Amino acid sequence: MSRRIAITLGDPGGIGPDICVMMAKSSITRNHIFITDPKLLLDSSKKLKIKIKINLLDTVASKTVSGLGLINVYPLKLISKNKPGYMDPKNAPFVINAIQTAAEGCMRGDFDAMVTGPISKSVLNKGGYKISGHTEFLAKLCKSKSIMMLMNDKLKVTLQTIHIPLRKITKEITKNKIIETVCIINEDLRTKFAYTKPKILICGVNPHAGEDGLLGKEEIDIIMPAVKTLKKMGIVIDGPVPADTAFIKKFVKKYDVIHTMYHDQGLPVIKFDDFSRTTNVTLGLPIIRVSVDHGTATELVGTGKVDISSFTQALKVARNISKSAI
């Protein structure tokens, strides 16, 4: 059975509308429902000189249709006139409304998964929404914990902390928080990715994983006791290991996921490995959410030079997870 996937385009001033129109030539199916203002797509199609047809849905659960260049749209209305390449804080409510509509549709069962386009966190904050990203916003909306996991065909990388300043990281890393996070990772790898017994490698937070306390004691005082408790719970986990050797081939082959302590400890590695095929999956939610792994790229709007491979990969991952989910 084909999966119904809700798609949000992110900031209307970014490359989201262009990606949708470019995808319409080949990879959009009848069960992809775009939650956006249809005028955005029509304006983009004119600039890119790509012919599209829009099928407007009365409700998110309405029957969809298929056809070359045909896009199913559940319409929302922009607040401020869109200027391609410019992200207007006045449209922040429109961006949030699209994400919320998709998530609530997933929770009701109208959609099997949602795929999100790139947003600007600073623009949303200027528009009055105090959020630090999709991951945290969806956790609050779904009343659950959320963990960021980036993945491609070779690697899965999870984060203990997400969008916080570097100076606050060690204060956020506690034994109980590590245990809670790793338990969610273990459970979601089992129920959404069909791993029977996920193998997890955890990184230290300090250089050389603290060098026996010489370069920091978080590994000895916090991470190692957490790992010991997790092992007693039956979770297959090793570490903490130094982050600078966590991604060597023998570890990548042996472990199903590498759990890092902060945003820029793990993400540069996986993005360097395969940026165009890396996607962002939110673990811990009662719904399936997958995202592209790139930004709004306003400088590319209207050029026709946008690489759509991350978005098509996100759709593929969303479909596969929804089929595997227990």
Model-level pTM greater than 0.85?
A: yes
Q: pLDDT tens digits for the chain (326 residues)?
A: 578 999 999 999 999 999 999 988 776 677 899 999 999 999 999 999 999 999 999 999 999 988 888 899 999 999 999 988 899 999 999 999 999 999 999 999 999 999 999 999 999 999 999 888 898 899 999 999 999 999 999 999 999 999 899 999 999 999 999 999 999 999 999 999 999 999 999 999 999 988 898 999 999 999 999 999 999 999 999 999 999 999 999 999 999 999 999 999 999 999 999 887 899 999 999 999 999 878 888 899 989 898 898 899 999 999 999 987 76
The CATH fold of domain 1-144+285-326: Isopropylmalate Dehydrogenase (3.40.718)
The pLDDT value given to residue 29: 72
The pLDDT value given to residue 28: 64
The pLDDT value given to residue 242: 96
Same fold, 1-144+285-326 and 147-276: yes
Cα first-last separation, the chain: 16
**Residue 240: is the preceding peptide bond cis (ω within 30°)?**
yes
Every domain of the chain and the residues it spans: 1-144+285-326, 147-276
**Span 147-276: which CATH code?**
3.40.718.10
